[in-house]
Structure 1
Amino acid sequence: MMSAIPLRRAGAVALCALACMSAGSAIAETVLRTVPSSDLKILDPVWTTANITRNHGLMIYDTLFGMDEKGVIRPQMVDKTSTSADNKTWTFTLRPGLKFHDGTPVTAQDVIASLARWGKRDVLGQRMYEAMASITAEGPATVRMTFRQPFGAVLDALGKPSPLVPFIMPKRVAETPADKQIDDLTGSGPFTLKKEDFRPGDRVVYRRNPDYVPRKDAPSGLAGGKAVHVDRVEWVFLRDTQTQVNALLNGEVDILEVVPSSHYPQLRTDKRVQMVDIMPAGPFTVIYNHKVPPFNDARVRKAAMLAINQEAMLRAQATYRDFYKPCASIYLCGSPYASDQTGFFTGKPQFEQARKLLKESGYDGKPVVIMLPGDAPALSRLPVVYGQLLRQVGFNVDVQATDWSTLITRRTRKEPPEKGGWNAYITFWGGVDASSPITYSPLTGNGDRGYFGWPEDAELETLKTRFIETADAAQRKDIATRIQLRAIENGILAPVGEGKAPTVVRSGAISGLLPAPAVLYWNVRKQ
């Protein structure tokens, strides 16, 4: 953990350097320092669905399309789009002047390679490639996709804001096998990152990309012009919430991406800082490992879901009612596909029914390992309370503390817990991500090809295919509700309710933050 002392020393060194410069010899850099939501350990945004890695990807990569703050998919790297009358052929031409960080132009071949790697790991990408007949380069800057049947979610896929995002990388990087992490950080976006500027557990230093050509459109969410107004953005990792708050109040950092709930009353009234509501609410979700006992039994998963007490779990995690809301729907409450048709699941504990199911399953009392990310304050209390609720049902629970980077690595393992695997963990999803069955990553039933936990449910996958194939709004709503009921009945995931927290900045120092699924650092100015 970094204390406030090194930050002060760093500031003193910067001031000394500025004072020592002769007049007109140089211009001081504008450095924006922020405390992100968690530590960054994995740099490959196609290899993991961790939000912090997605946020890193937004810094150094660009996308063909982007979602604006109203949820509309708009062109980003793409200049022109055309679609055939039968909706089976899509053609995209890139904007002129696009370059990678090494100065080489972005070409159609780079796009094809990037999409191919992404499509091997992303659930919606897999669906798109299953429907695709071919993807070809029609010249240096034009890509053509041809489908065997109409695929109504092309723009949803190419402009999706949630992990995994189809970021565009150089062909040589994108040719890295999808099950291996990339080691080349050459990107296509508004910031650059050098390997020596990546210091896990300390900080990551992003530098403005002077060769990046923003769109001329006004910025909106993940779309529009990504104009950078600072020279450097430093992600400073401070694990202790009190240290975070002290650093902000002392001016050593400029932004806390997430307000620590325990310090909410203090920060809400302190005139040195300002709270800004830019990120939408999102759901907390229990992910069960369907591969290993006991959650390979649907009765056990159902028993575990019946133990959930959303109000108790959310109150323990967020403390203040402004920060949470119980919601039994799998989709974000208030979003177009949210539904109160949730079958047996209410978000309130049903202990007697849960005990009955657990007994019927023949559960042998083997410890259930729930991973707890101690360095992620926004998640760290939920596993403790859930463990207590599961014990009331009859589970033998082992809540194992770890850090977030270890958790997201460990969750890739399919072995039993005693061999390094896991049984369950709780995570958080952005509200935009969780508002549709085709962007909500854990809502999958395609086994080893799907999200961690690897549930198998052919009926769920069939429903998702029907959702993708239709453009009729009423039919989509009906199918989305049926997907929700199927997912709950089979224990694909368990809703814990919704949480949100404002971002907090130094008063009068920061402007231009955009409403978006992540804290974005283009369009931001530091006074």
Structure 2
Amino acid sequence: MQKLNFTRSLAGGIAGAFTRRQAAWCVAAALAASAAVPALAQSSTLKIIPHSNITVLDPIWTTAYISRNFGYMIYDTLFGTDIDGKIKPQMVDKWSVSKDGKTWTFTLRDGLEFHDGKPVASEDVVASLKRWASRDTFGGQLAKVTDKYQTPDAKTFVLVLKEPFGLVLEALGKPSANVPFIMPKRVADTPGDTQIKETIGSGPFVFKADEFRPGERAVFVKNAKYKPRAEAPSGTTGGKQVYVDRVEWLIIRDAQTQMNALINGEADILEQPAFEQYASLRTNPDIQLIDAQPAGNQFIFRFNFLHAPFDNEKIRRAAMIAMGQEAFLKTQVGAPGLTRYCKSMFPCGTPFESTNTGDYSGVANPQKAKALLQEAGYKGEPVVLMRPTDLAAIAKLPLVAKQQLEQAGFKVDLQTMDWQTLVARRAKKDLPSAGGWNAFMTSWTSSDILNPLTMAMMNAAGDKGWFGWQDDAKLQDIKTQFTKAATEADKKKLAEQAQLRAFETVTHVPVGQYSQPAAVRKGVSGLVPAGAQVYWNIKKQ
């Protein structure tokens, strides 16, 4: 995997403290003492407004970022990716590779323990990796060349390959969805297409299932038995130090109510402010903007390959040509300095960025799209386009897509729902008229789409692929060649081939690049830029 060119210049340090009313001298000493108790308790509780509601607690079953973020709270990983894109060990203490590059031996570090008190063992790791590989694009490529796993003892696991695979550590240390989180074997034995029933990890926080209220809050407490690494935190690597006793995710769906809660001190971090709120937040002396995803994000439009009309490549191409990035970025973001036109599938500013995009220009051309649509024999089938109304970061995108597609001659059935319903529905292969779908829109952090192996939309393995279920042996073969590339120049060439093939078959449409910094109250420090949203290392005064 190529080096992540994360931007190091953040929005400055976070300092200061919450403003509090000073106790009047006339207040009785007993009342003043009793008031001090909730104040101290408050300082040990970090309150976060996440970017969406959470109902799916399985970060392997879905690529939804809220589930990934949940995973980082309670699970740990074998390796991680630091701020410079380097892979470093986490749960692993040491490892070695045979001379022929086909046998990888790993030893777990001491003190790893699941939240139920049982030690983490090599059999837990193997079961977790197998389940992850059944769902993840990168993991699937690794699984294809894996001959067998061995567990010679409780702390050692061995990966025996059929042939050398130069990206083993990059796969095991990938920072974003799907992340190879380690679960107990009894949990990891759950088939990948079935959601897990237990949420037991070995990570820095323990999930309070008894306090979980979907649509209201999720609660985590510090894992007192967790043993952080000694290194400083960097990306998803290093010491996962926890300085608060409790973390509460407050599920607030209305954007204005979210901002009010932050400004009034009822929340400490607003993960993704509405784009129109940035102008006001920048002028608020109690708020600091911190970019925890400094490499940026990309909006995309995804097709369902199983059903008409998008089972027809020409019709997908017509839809692609109908879409232009300017309208998406202006409508959804609008805020100055936060957007970037980028027609490359691999984010602009990253190693595999390429302007070689075939028919795709990123500029809407409704006349050309209409002609192609007629040539393809479009019969007026309605396009069921799902729109999440409660996820402000992408809620306006489908409105733009509907307008641009209709200008090209498509009939669009825009169906609104909350994000968690969309996440569940996009996993269904039913006919659109029977509860299925034709298209949806989402966004990806750059760390997820840096190369052909990490990009879910390039998972063209049919039923085993990402939602949309494209089946394209040629694209899969290019990805396999990518895993064997010996030089950076060869990887660059193959990444471009994969992109051209993806545009040729129209896997998806990139509709613009953007940034969305978190809003953080002063007095809260230590938010780690990671290519994923992580909440260790944070101190609250």
Q: Taking structure 1 as the reference length, what is the TM-score of the superposition?
A: 0.94
Q: Distance in 2 between matches of 1:498 and 1:17?
A: 53
Q: Distance in 2 between matches of 1:49 and 1:522?
A: 21
Match of 1:64 in 2: 78
Q: Distance in 1 between matches of 2:179 and 2:139?
A: 10
Q: Offset at 1:431?
A: 0.8
State the number of aligned residues: 509
Q: Offset at 1:298?
A: 0.3
Match of 1:416 in 2: 431
Structure 2 residue corresponding to 1:166, chosen from 175, 180, 200: 180
Amino acid at match of 1:470: A
Structure 1 residue corresponding to 2:127, chosen from 113, 123, 126: 113
Match of 1:194 in 2: 208
2:290/2:518 contact within 8 Å kept: yes
Match of 1:249 in 2: 263
Q: Offset at 1:518?
A: 2.4
2:146/2:162 contact within 8 Å kept: yes
Q: Distance in 2 between matches of 1:111 and 1:440?
A: 24
Does residue 479 in structure 1 map to residue 494 in structure 2? yes
Match of 1:263 in 2: 277
Describe the shift of the 1:504–1:178 C-alpha distance in structure 2 as closer, same or farther (beyond 3 A): same
Please give the secondary structure, in 1, of the residue aligned with 2:457: coil
Structure 2 residue corresponding to 1:92, chosen from 77, 82, 106: 106
Structure 2 residue corresponding to 1:310, chosen from 317, 320, 325: 325
1:203/1:235 contact within 8 Å kept: yes
Unaligned runs of 5+ in 1: 1-15
1:76/1:224 contact within 8 Å kept: yes
Match of 1:140 in 2: 154
Match of 1:522 in 2: 536
Match of 1:335 in 2: 350
Describe the shift of the 1:269–1:28 C-alpha distance in structure 2 as closer, same or farther (beyond 3 A): closer
Does residue 128 in structure 1 map to residue 123 in structure 2? no
Structure 2 residue corresponding to 1:385, chosen from 400, 404, 407: 400
Amino acid at match of 1:427: T
Describe the shift of the 1:392–1:520 C-alpha distance in structure 2 as closer, same or farther (beyond 3 A): same
Amino acid at match of 2:280: Q
Q: Distance in 1 between matches of 2:270 and 2:486?
A: 40
Please give the secondary structure, in 1, of the residue aligned with 2:403: helix
Please give the secondary structure, in 1, of the residue aligned with 2:342: coil
Match of 2:412 in 1: 397
Amino acid at match of 1:157: A
Unaligned runs of 5+ in 2: 1-29
Q: Distance in 2 between matches of 1:17 and 1:420?
A: 58
Please give the secondary structure, in 2, of the residue aligned with 1:145: strand
1:115/1:168 contact within 8 Å kept: yes
Structure 1 residue corresponding to 2:249, chosen from 228, 235, 248: 235
Q: Distance in 2 between matches of 1:302 and 1:208?
A: 50
Q: Offset at 1:278?
A: 2.1
Match of 1:179 in 2: 193
Alignment of 1:199-214 (within 5 A): 199-214=213-228
Describe the shift of the 1:423–1:22 C-alpha distance in structure 2 as closer, same or farther (beyond 3 A): closer
Q: Distance in 2 between matches of 1:434 and 1:310?
A: 18
RMSD: 1.6
2:74/2:205 contact within 8 Å kept: yes
- Deviation above 4 Å: which 4+ runs of structure 1? 16-23, 26-29
Match of 1:219 in 2: 233
Structure 2 residue corresponding to 1:355, chosen from 370, 376, 379: 370
Describe the shift of the 1:110–1:362 C-alpha distance in structure 2 as closer, same or farther (beyond 3 A): same
Q: Distance in 2 between matches of 1:438 and 1:494?
A: 18
Please give the secondary structure, in 1, of the residue aligned with 2:123: helix
Amino acid at match of 1:524: I
Q: Distance in 1 between matches of 2:242 and 2:204?
A: 7
Match of 2:13 in 1: none
